[in-house]
Copies of this chain bind each other. A is one copy, B any other.
Amino acid sequence: MRVGLVGLGLVGGSLALALRATHDVVAYDSDAGVRSSARSAGLAVVDALAVVIPADVVVVATPFSAIVPTLRDLAPRAGATVLLDVGSLKRPIAAYAETAPAEARIVGGHPMAGTTGAGFASADPTLFRGRPFLLVPTARSDQQAMDVASALARAAGAEPTVCSAEAHDRAIATLSGVPLAVALALSRSGEDVARLAGPGFRDATRLAATPRDLADVLLRGNRDEVKAALRRFRDALDEVERDLG
């Protein structure tokens, strides 16, 4: 399978490194320095977005704000190529897909993996091993597109799980949004004693170091679901506090 990779940060870079053993991978990043690092790592890199096509599938792994613009750029000339994004929210992708050219094939994806590192320098071909890889069908998905996305997830070592954009964004509010909000609150309310912290407090506040743009996507970008999930969290915290006696 010929795989185009757009965006060689932690996720895109790791996918490129994971897939090149079994697939024909062609990678692109808008940053010339990143392209150069990727070439040094032995990846086949092109200097323009357009030439990642033709491909069986193009993975869009740009920062979240660039995903829909990139899909909008690629969709009219993608032909039979499946476009698979790997951003942290899926409703905005599903909404774009409804307006995309009728012949486009677009699938939403989200591998549940990450590290505190960022960028191609932190890319790791084993990042996705054994991790869930959520796949979201859109108005421009068909069974073959879903099969291609699923095969790609498995080739990276991940376990594909299909769900709706709504179910995805609701789950992410609980799994990423609330833990991030909580880490920020723990970090702020513990500022005066943080110098005494042991590894427990450090782990509990690690997500507070999430890069600002990603934090904005996970919190403000998913506001309604995060607020609902925060209500469930507060109820659970009230229950824990009641157990204190």
Give chain A's interface residues, CB within 8 Å of chain B.
Answer: 112-115, 131-132, 134, 161, 171, 174-176, 178-186, 188-190, 193-201, 203-207, 219-220, 223, 226-227, 229-230, 232-237, 239-241, 243-245
Contact = CB atoms under 8 A, between A and B. Distances in A.
A178, A184, A237: most-surrounded residue (chain B CB, <10 A): A237
A136 to B, nearest CB: 12
A189 B236 contact: yes
A180, A189, A195, A223: most-surrounded residue (chain B CB, <10 A): A189
Main secondary structure of the interface of A (DSSP, over half): helix
A174 B193 contact: yes
Contacts of A243: 219
A197 B199 CA distance: 21
B200 A207 contact: yes
Given A203-B207, A227-B241, 15 more contacts: A112-B196, A131-B198, A132-B198, A176-B200, A178-B186, A181-B240, A181-B241, A182-B204, A182-B237, A184-B240, A189-B235, A204-B204, A219-B243, A223-B244, A227-B244
A48 to B, nearest CB: 33
